[in-house]
Every structure is written in C-alpha cells, then in structure tokens.
Amino acid sequence: MTIADYYRILGIPLHSSVNDIKKAYRQKARLFHPDVNPAPEARDKFIQATEAYEFLIANQERISANDEVYRQAMENWAKYRQEKSRRRANAYARASYVRFKKTKFYRTTRILDGTTIIFSLALSLMMVFYTVWGYIYRLKHPLPEGEQPTVFFFLLLLLVGMGFVIVSLIYLKAYIETSRKHYKKSGKMA
C-alpha cells in the first residue's frame, strides 16, 4: 500500500493532522468493527483502517520529509510492523466492540487534544477574571438599593474558577508529557 491508500482508507485528505487521523480512525473503527457491523467485508475494512492508523501515526513526521526518507519509512513498515499491525487488528476485530474501546490502543485515539485543553484553560481564566472584575465593579457601582455584593459568593466563584484553572493545567501538563513521549517514540523509530 502507498501512503495515499492509507489516507484514502481513513477517508481523509493527504497530510491531515494527527487529530484528524485519530478522529477518522475512531469513526472507521466504530463503523467497521465486526461486533457492530455484521457485513462480511467489515472485518477486512476494520483491519485496513487499523493498519492505516498505525502507519500514519507512527510516521507522521516522516511523511512530509523528502522522498528517500518516505521510501525508507515504507520499507521499514513493510518489513517489521505491517504484519504485527494486522495481527493486532485481527485480535481487536475478534473482541467485542465494548472491550476494544477499553484497550490502550483505542484510548490513544481520544480527541481530548491540546486545542480542547487550551480552550478549557482560557475559559477557566476568563471565569476567574470576570469574577474579580464583576466584584470590583459592583463595589464601585452598587445597585440602587445600596446592597453590596457578598464576599461569600465572590470567594465561592473565585474558588470554583481557580479549581477549573488547576484541573486544566494538570490536563495540559499530561498532554504535553504524552506528546513528548509520542514524539520521542516516533523519533527513535526513524
């Protein structure tokens, strides 16, 4: 198979991002897993999708390199990993879909990526900012009845916002560490 075949199997354009590859694989795995799809060709399509996903994820950095690097990556894949990938895909195809979804392999396709984490971090920081800004604004511009905003609700909202910031930072740190491990792993395979 060629690299274009792998992208075609997943139904995505050439040079798609890692997140697009993961998303496409999850869709194909759900569509073609034999436990979910009883069609006779579903098993083969599931195995092809798994093989395509493994190749594209393992060789993402090399795909955009020059032709010689790409050719070498394809040769190495064919020699060492392709058959192993097919055996693993066969095992996943024999398992129930529910069990397959619990595998470490499937969990690596989760879409909770850097964009989602950064977006949640930005929202939590905005929550903290607007909590502080709103409290200060209400102190300077009290309501006509003369009621001052309560410190209790200000501290409660601030605490919740800070909790979201901390959780977002923990997820961001875990995502960065996972990305580094993946990058080092794919770098060693070169």
Tokens of 38: 């009883």
The distance from CA 118 to its chain's CA centroid, rounded to whole angstroms, is 13
Contact indicator for 149, 138 with CB cutoff of 8 Å: yes
Question: What are the residues whose beta carbons fall under 8 Å from the beta carbon of 179, sequence distance 6 or more?
Answer: 114
Q: Each residue of 7-33: pLDDT tens digit?
A: 899 999 887 888 888 889 989 998 999
Contact indicator for 7, 28 with CB cutoff of 8 Å: no
User: Would you state the pLDDT for residue 142?
Assistant: 78
Q: Is the pLDDT of residue 162 over 50?
A: yes
User: CB-hemisphere CA count at 13 Å for 29?
Assistant: 30
User: Would you state the pLDDT for residue 144?
Assistant: 74
Q: What is the dihedral of CA 103, 109, 111, 112, to 10 degrees?
A: 60
Tokens of 12: 């995505």
Q: Each residue of 56-80: pLDDT tens digit?
A: 887 776 666 556 666 676 676 666 6
User: Would you state the pLDDT for residue 189?
Assistant: 40
If we measure between CA atoms, which residue out of 126, 118, 4 comes closest to residue 56? 4
Query: Domain-by-domain residue ranges, the chain?
Result: 3-107, 114-188
User: Would you state the pLDDT for residue 188?
Assistant: 44
The C-alpha angle with vertex 13 and arms to 83 and 52, in degrees rounded to 5, equals 10
Mean pLDDT of the chain: 80
The three-class DSSP label of residue 189 is coil
- CATH class (in words) of the domain with range 3-107: mainly alpha
**Distance (Å, rounded) from C-alpha 70 to C-alpha 15?**
13
Residue 146 binned pLDDT confidence (cut-offs 50, 70, 90): low
Residue with tokens 């073609």: 32
129: number of Cβ within 10 Å: 11
In this prediction the pTM is 0.49
User: Would you state the pLDDT for residue 165?
Assistant: 94
Residue 158 binned pLDDT confidence (cut-offs 50, 70, 90): very high
**Distance (Å, rounded) from C-alpha 49 to C-alpha 11?**
10
What whole-number percentage of the chain has pLDDT above 90? 22
Q: Each residue of 115-144: pLDDT tens digit?
A: 788 889 999 999 999 999 988 888 888 777
**Distance (Å, rounded) from C-alpha 74 to C-alpha 97?**
30
User: Would you state the pLDDT for residue 166?
Assistant: 94
User: Would you state the pLDDT for residue 70?
Assistant: 64
